[in-house]
Structure 1
Amino acid sequence: MTAPGARRRKQMHLAAHFPGVNSTTVWADPRSGSQIDFSSFRHLAATAERGLFDFFFLAEGLRLREHKGRIHDLDVVGRPESITVLSALAAVTERIGLAATVNATFNEPYELARRLASLDHLSGGRAAWNVVTSSDAFTGENFRRGGYLDRAERYTRAAEFVATARELWDSWTPDGVPRPFAHHGRHFSVSGTFDVARSPQGHPVVIQAGDSDEGREFAASAADVIFTRHGTLEAGQAFYADVKRRLSAYGRRPGDLKVMPGVTFALGDTGAEAQEKAAEIRKQQVSPQNALLALEQVWGRDLSGYDPDGPLPAVDPDPGGEVAQGRVRIADPLAVAARWRAVSEAKGLSIRQTVIETTGRQSFIGTPASVAAQLDEFVTAGAADGFILVPHLTPGGLDDFVDRVVPLLQERGAFRTEYTGATLREHLGLPLPVCHS
């Protein structure tokens, strides 16, 4: 039963990330299922909706990652196209939001705005777009233009892309009248008449994933949700305050952007059991081969001769070295290596143990009651508005959380007990965008 005064408490937002990217999934677990079968997507989405989550989130890969010229098959880096999957899920879900990751570097505004508006119509106002960018020529080889963008240019194009898409969505008035549009900018010059009527949300919800200064500024100017990561309560509070502070420069209020870090969890009947389970999950995620992969990404060198259970290399990273393609490059490998060495030396850790220690997401570990308390503390202490949960199993990795943690969050008055709106904007407490047509 909800405690007196609970309605006045800050409510957290929850989303479900379909696992399988960046070695998240524990493939050795017999409960690990298909990353391709529609039944997997449907199971996780249905579980999240049963848990009254705000949205279901799909990542995307435009090219299979390679390591030293070979496909690295220990992590899933691609899957069926996001909007296609979510359009199918719109037919078998009723309330949960449907968030597609789509690249703003290798798409065009008219075509993508049309697809997202169509998903918003099909789902009754539940569509979201996670805007990502790419500057690497390796991924660009799959596209006619190639990877021509400098790293600094990718956010410039993305910002104009989002602005152009919004112009298209706004070219239909709320009462159903289409009007010609014309956009002439640095990256896009498009004009005509948009052929999809204004959708239930006006604009699909825009999500931005990024921790860099450019990513934070882009989110403050254009996003409704920012998907981030941070390792401690204090780091979360600093990030939260920084991003919220930037909003006023764009005439926005703190509630106009929701901060939702991606997090993992491990549950046990006791704290010790949960810690043991979490340690085993991380050990399976960071196999010896994956440990060396992570090391080589930082060092930019072939380190296949090193023992994963031995010490870190004495040699320094090669700042210009590149052994992996299709991954985000390490911005300052020398600084990362120095931090890893400090952790390794302080705790006497091997290569594999160091990677386990330094590369995990924020994780909430404990009994269902203690995990509920930890999540609630992050929200009430101003470190997050909610969380995007990244389970380690496909497709049943969210089941325990929904069955055992969500009811406790509801008892604390920290999470909804029913959906009170039909659209994703209503779930997130976001206003309808003003149509300027």
Structure 2
Amino acid sequence: MTTPRKQIRLAAHFPGVNNTTVWSDPASRSQIDFSSFVHLARTAERGGFDFFFLAEGLRLREHQGRIHDLDVVGRPDTLAVLAGLAAVTRHLGLAGTLSATYNEPYELARQLASLDHLSDGRAAWNVVTTSDAFTGENFRRGGYLDHADRYERAAAFVRAARGWWDSWSADALAGGRDRPTFVNEGGVRRFAQTDRFFAVEGESTVPRSPQGHPVVIQAGDSVQGRDFAAANADVIFSRHGGLEQGRDFYADVKGRLGGYGRSPEDLLIMPAATFVVAGTAAEAEERARHIRYQQVSGQTAIRSLEQVWGRDLSAYDPDGPLPDVEPDPGNTAISQGRAGRVKDPLAQVRAWRELAEAKKLSIRDLVVETTARQTFVGTPDGVAAQLDEHVQTKACDGFVLVPHLTPGGLDDFVDLVVPLLRERGVLRTEYTGATLRENLGLPAPR
């Protein structure tokens, strides 16, 4: 008997706050117009993707005290966009990135349950933690939260949100959502939680939603983040897109699930991935190189180095050699609102100098080499084979595809690669589940 091939899970990432979006391409369109969101979402649904993934920035990034205008600097509210997309899609999941630091459990649980009802069971929540005081200045609590406390608060937050979602039992209503009547007084129960972060009590105003709980996504990679995901998440948005790194991460996180009473099938691992396809492998490589140099202008290259050097490097030529001055590790304020700071700038600079000397790289060449490489490059058949290999050999369960163009960046993938994945029998030809949770093959909420 032939074992069925493992299905590939796919998500479409609407390009967020980053410098991967190519603004200069003639095909680039608005990052704010609703039509851009609609185009990408409908393209993903046409391709049988599981969900649409929307990033969020809670403050405009700054560099040397000025708005960092080389990045995307504006984005409508996440929940408003997803609610709008619920009306123009039928099956595609709708995932929003929403902070567990600068929201409150009751309010966010109610909003997500409402989105789940409006979309007939397609809501998902990417839980993120935000610990920096710069972002906190937009909120009354400021930057009070210590970095070490962020996952503890997030775990308490998710516990509380699930408490609100569970305050209506599955049999609380008769007559369905259109004409609800309470079956018994026990159908809606009072929820209470008291811990070092929250002291809340009450019941949800929103009946139990189609999924019970919206799908929970998480993106942490530290030991603490991996444990948080193993205990709480349905999907991990991973940064480990390489084959060997992916296998190590996959085995590590899946191995943690048993300690929380869960099985490997209860959690999906989906790394971020980019792609370039063309008629031949050589054409794809040339196109990928062209895209990388579009993504990294000379100005972007200099600012990227300044974030590591902690110095003003504007006097240096981006097409010349690396700066000969040493970094200033204490100047962490040069770039504000950016995640993933380099932990050891001195070591990073040494490694970059060695790489630049060995390969004869300019500043811009170095930034292209180290920050903007596409994950999958090749012919449509070659890319399909690479994606399939990663999933079948347990490097991941699927991918969150991040296109370099808004809103048409997924068009080539859906037109050229998706048919080949379907021929391989690893991607759905139609949606069979009634909810996002069912389409992802995830169990009902515990």
**Superposition TM-score, scaled by structure 1 size:** 0.96
Residue 65 of structure 1 and its aligned partner are, at CA, apart by 0.4
Is 1:324 equivalent to 2:335 in the alignment? Answer: yes
Structure 1 segment 160-199 matched on structure 2, within 5 A = 160-176=156-172, 177-199=187-209
* CA distance in 2: counterparts of 1:367 and 1:421, whole angstroms: 32
Q: Does residue 1:216 correspond to 2:221, yes or no?
A: no
Deviations 1:357-389 (A, max 9, x none): 111365100110000001011111111100000
**Aligned residues between the structures:** 430
The answer for unaligned runs of 5 or more in structure 1 is none
Residue 172 of structure 1 aligns to a residue in which SS?
coil
Amino acid at match of 2:382: S
Secondary structure, aligned partner of 1:8: coil
CA distances 1:176-211 after superposition (whole Å, capped 9, x unpaired): 221111110110110012111111111100101122
Change (3 A) 1:211 1:361: farther
Indicate the SS of the match to 1:179. Answer: coil
Q: Is the 8 A contact 2:12 2:401 kept in 1?
A: yes
Amino acid at match of 1:312: L
The whole-number CA distance in structure 1 between the counterparts of 2:58 and 2:16 is 15
Q: Which amino acid aligns with 1:121?
A: H
> Structure 1 runs of 4+ off > 4 angstroms?
none
- Give the match for residue 130 of structure 1: 126
**Does 2:96 correspond to 1:100?**
yes
8 Å Cα contact 2:83-2:115 kept in structure 1:
yes
Q: Is the 8 A contact 1:263 1:361 kept in 2?
A: no
Report what 1:407 is aligned to. Answer: 419
Aligned partners of 1:20 and 1:394 also within 8 Å: no
> Equivalent pairs: percent with the same residue?
70
Q: Is the 8 A contact 2:241 2:272 kept in 1?
A: no
CA distance, structure 2, for counterparts of residue 20 and residue 162 of structure 1: 24
- Aligned residue number for residue 405 of structure 2: 393
How far did 1:315 drift? Answer: 3.2
Alignment of 1:19-418 (within 5 A): 19-176=15-172, 177-322=187-332, 323-328=334-339, 329-360=341-372, 363-418=375-430
Task: Give the deviation of 1:398 after TM superposition.
Answer: 0.4
CA distance in 2 between partners of 1:118 and 1:14 (Å)? 24
**Does the CA contact (< 8 Å) of 1:62 and 1:78 recur in 2?**
no
Partners of 1:316 and 1:172 lie apart in 2 by 60
Verify the 8 A CA contact 1:33 1:395 in the aligned structure 2: yes
Q: Which moved more, 1:412-421 or 1:385-394?
A: 412-421
- Residue identity opposite 1:8 in structure 2: P
Partners of 2:73 and 2:100 in 1: CA distance = 18
Write out per-residue CA displacement over residues 231-281 of structure 1, whole angstroms, 9 at most, x where no aligned residue: 521111111111111111111111111110011000101111110111111
Inter-partner Cα distance in structure 2 for 1:228 and 1:312: 31
Query: 1 CA distance for matches of 2:259 and 2:374?
Result: 30
Q: Structure 1, residues 93-138: CA drift from partner, whole Å, max 9, x if none?
A: 0000000000111000000000000000000000000011111111
1:159 Cα deviation from its structure 2 partner: 1.1
Alignment correspondent of 2:183: none
Instruction: Work out which of the residue numbers 7, 10, 14 in structure 2 matches 1:14.
Output: 10
Is the 1:263–1:364 contact (alpha carbons within 8 Å) kept by the matching residues of 2? Answer: yes
Worse-superposed segment, 210-219 or 289-298: 210-219
Contact 2:288–2:374 (CA<8 Å) still a contact in 1?
Answer: no
Higher alpha-carbon deviation: 48-57 or 313-322: 313-322
Cα deviation code 1:134-165 (max 9, x no counterpart): 11111111101101111111111111111110
Q: Which amino acid aligns with 1:217?
A: D
The whole-number CA distance in structure 2 between the counterparts of 1:231 and 1:346 is 25
SS at 1:395's partner residue?
coil
After TM superposition, give the deviation of residue 299 of structure 1 in Å: 1.6
Question: Do residues 428 (structure 1) and 416 (structure 2) align?
Answer: no
Q: Measure, in 2, the Cα distance between the counterparts of 1:402 and 1:358.
A: 28
Does the 8 Å CA contact 2:247/2:395 hold for their aligned counterparts?
yes
Q: Structure 2 counterpart of 1:145, which letter?
A: R
Task: Give, in whole Å, the separation in 1 of the partners of 2:200 and 2:316.
Answer: 53
Higher mean displacement: 268-277 or 298-307: 298-307
C-alpha deviation, 1:344, in angstroms: 1.8
User: What is the distance in 2 between the residues matched to 1:140 and 1:350?
Assistant: 37
For the structure 1 residues 141 and 178, does the alpha-carbon distance in structure 2 shift closer, same or farther, using more than 3 Å as the test?
same
TM-superposed CA distance for 1:324, in Å, is 0.5
Cα RMSD, aligned residues only: 1.4
- Looking at structure 1, the residues matched to 59 and 290 of structure 2 have their Cα atoms a distance apart, in angstroms, of 30
Report the residue type matching 1:11 in the other structure. Answer: Q
The answer as to whether partners of 1:224 and 1:256 remain within 8 angstroms in 2 is yes
State the secondary structure of the residue aligned to 2:308.
helix
For residues 339 and 241 of structure 1, what CA distance do their matches in structure 2 show?
A: 29
Rounded Cα–Cα distance in structure 2 between residues aligned with 1:317 and 1:241: 37
User: Which region of structure 1 is more displaced relative to structure 2, 7-16 or 257-266?
Assistant: 7-16
